Amino acid sequence: MMQSALRIEAKVLPGNKIEIDLPPDTAFNTVGKTIEVILLLPEKPTQSTEQSILEILAEIHAQRPSSRNLEEINRDLQAERDAWDS
């Protein structure tokens, strides 16, 4: 037995009903027969709550002090190292 497939798009009618009109040149007689209907629902756009790495980096850069120079950074690092040793 050979199985056939036919792809047809249909609109959902009020009451969540669908009506499918088979084309007149359908090669098989389905009147009165039970057929299988597979529904592919439209994809929902994913709303990601996760931030991209670029967004995270932008937040980090926005929070850092902008006026620190290399000497100040090295001094702060040394103060942290000294605190660990004591």
Per-residue pLDDT tens digits for 9-31: 888 999 999 988 888 776 667 77
- Most confident region among 15-19, 47-51, 55-59 by mean pLDDT: 15-19
Q: Retrieve residue 80's tokens.
A: 């942290």
Which residues touch 20 (CB under 8 Å, ≥6 apart)?
8, 10, 37
Among the listed ranges 32-36, 42-46, 73-77, which one has the minimum average pLDDT value?
42-46
- The mean pLDDT value for 60-72 works out to 81
- Name every residue whose Cβ is closer than 8 Å to that of residue 13 and which is 6 or more positions away in sequence: 19
